[in-house]
Structure formats: structure tokens, C-alpha cells
A and B are shown apart, each in its own frame.
Chain A
Amino acid sequence: MSGPVGIVPYIAFDMATDAGNVGEARRTVASFAAENGASTEIVERVRQALTEALNNAVIHAFPGRAGNVHVAADVEDGDLEVVVSDDGTGFLPGETPGFGLGLLVIERSCDVFLVRNRVPHGVEVWMRFWLE
């Protein structure tokens, strides 16, 4: 789904938690970013952050079963916002391979980000990139 809401450009889609879907999701959001004023450097940062957010969801959100990840992006007040959310198990304590490094890459790629716990369960990674 994509199109204007009022004057805000946005896209939103669901992705099955299959690693093979990450590339297509990344290309879709990167294209949206480029079409809405993101420089090559910002698009690359979007790609890096999105890859890690999607991989974390694919690997950790639904252990042992399939699920969906929701991806949304819009441009508001000159900023690109990208949200990756799921209704999976949330973060579990202990060793979670690749998880910390993924969040580290997201932190370094975004201008602002939040990790929200969803109620009743799940995780939402909200990422903002300054376009100006």
C-alpha cells in the first residue's frame, strides 16, 4: 500500500519473516527514500538500518514459527521516518546472536531511533533520518 495521506507521502506493507524477503523490502523503502529527497548517503544509511531491523525481526521475533513484519515509511516535516514492527515474542533475556550488533548498526545509521515494546507483545523499531 502506498500513496499520499493528506500531503504526507507514505508506504506500508507486510513482509513474511523469511530472510529471502529482506532484500525486496529494503529496495522498496530505499526507492521511497530516494524519491522523496534522500541523498545517496542517506539512502545507504536507510538500507543499513532497515537491513538490521528486518533481520532482527526475521531471526528473533517468531522463534520456531512464521510471522509477519510490518514496514512503514513516511516523510514528515522534512524527516524520513521508517518503522519496522512485529507482534512476536519481544526481546528475550540471554544470548541472542546478532541482536546487539544489529541494534548498534541501527544506532549508528539513524539520526534518531526508538525501540518500543508493543502491547500485548512485540517490538517496534522507529527510525528517523533528517533529510535537510
Chain B
Amino acid sequence: VNADDTRTERIARNEVSLRRVNEAIESGRQTREGLVPFVCECGVLGCNDVIELTLEEYEQVRSRGVRFLVAPGHQSEADEVVETRGRYDIVEKAEARAAAIAERTDPRGPGAPER
């Protein structure tokens, strides 16, 4: 394991935690309308960006377990930007270990508890 591997995995685990934060925000919504503030899932500890999405837009991000929501330009070296939406980007884990962590911990995945 070299330093790059450790950094990639650390960022991937932070992204997974931030995805759970956003799932907690979505679950706590009392209304389905309007823009909802979510946190940037880029996984860099210094990032404090709040991004607004509709819940429909958020659900599109969550359609695949390897996809994450980030502020524009916040992709990591393990990411590929798959959609740019102005207010936010959707990135996909292109690096194998980061993708495996994302898939394994996907709260919408096959092993996840019922929502």
C-alpha cells in the first residue's frame, strides 16, 4: 500500500460518510418541493460547500452506487465527471478500489436495509 492508495481510500470513505449525511438530509425532508441543501460529497475534509438540488435531481445522483454529488470542480483523482449541471457535478468512481468501497457501502444497494 503506498501513500496514493491510502489517500484514495481515505477520500472514498469520507465520500461514503458524506453520502450517508445526504441520505439523512433527504430522509428528514418534510416537503418534497423546492431546492434542498445537500453537502458536497467530495471527501476532502476542508470542504464545507452546501449545494442545492431538487429531490428529483438528488435521486438521479443516487441512481448508481458509484456516483457522488460534488460542487463544480471538486472531483478527486479517483473520479470521472459524468454530468455537469451548473450548480453541481455528478462524478463516478473510476478507480477500482474507490468504486468497490462505494458499491459495498451503497445505502440503496442490494445489501442495504429497507428504506
Tally A residues with Cβ within 8 Å of B. 26
- B30 and A100 within 8 A (CB): no
Instruction: Tell whether A64 is near chain B: CB-to-CB under 8 Å.
Output: no
A25-33, A72-80, A110-118 - the one binding chain B: A110-118
Instruction: Tell whether A91 is near chain B: CB-to-CB under 8 Å.
Output: yes
Q: Mark B47-59, 1 if CB is under 8 A from A, else 0.
A: 1111110000000
CA distance A124 to B49 in the complex (A): 19
Instruction: Tell whether A23 is near chain B: CB-to-CB under 8 Å.
Output: no
- CB-defined contacts of B31 to chain A, threshold 8 Å: 117, 119
> For this complex, into which size category does the number of interface residues on chain B fall?
20 to 34
Instruction: Tell whether B14 is near chain A: CB-to-CB under 8 Å.
Output: yes
Instruction: Tell whether A90 is near chain B: CB-to-CB under 8 Å.
Output: yes
- CB-defined contacts of A116 to chain B, threshold 8 Å: 28-30
- B17 and A104 within 8 A (CB): yes
Tell which of A90, A100, A114, A115 touches B48, judged by Cβ atoms closer than 8 Å: A100
With A93-B52, A115-B28 known to touch, is A100 a contact of B47 (CB < 8 Å)? yes
CA distance A98 to B45 in the complex (A): 9
CA distance A97 to B17 in the complex (A): 18
* B residues at A contact (CB < 8 Å): 14, 17-18, 20-21, 24-25, 27-31, 36-37, 39-40, 45, 47-52
Can you list 27 pairs linking A and B with CB atoms under 8 Å apart? A92-B50, A93-B51, A93-B52, A94-B50, A95-B48, A95-B49, A95-B50, A96-B48, A100-B18, A100-B21, A100-B47, A100-B48, A100-B49, A100-B50, A103-B39, A104-B17, A106-B21, A107-B17, A107-B20, A107-B24, A114-B28, A115-B25, A116-B28, A116-B30, A117-B29, A117-B31, A119-B30
* A residues at B contact (CB < 8 Å): 90-101, 103-104, 106-108, 113-119, 124, 126
20 additional A-B residue pairs with CB within 8 Å, beyond A108-B17, A118-B30: A91-B37, A93-B37, A93-B50, A93-B51, A93-B52, A95-B50, A96-B49, A96-B50, A99-B48, A100-B21, A100-B40, A100-B47, A104-B14, A107-B20, A116-B30, A117-B30, A117-B31, A117-B36, A119-B30, A126-B28
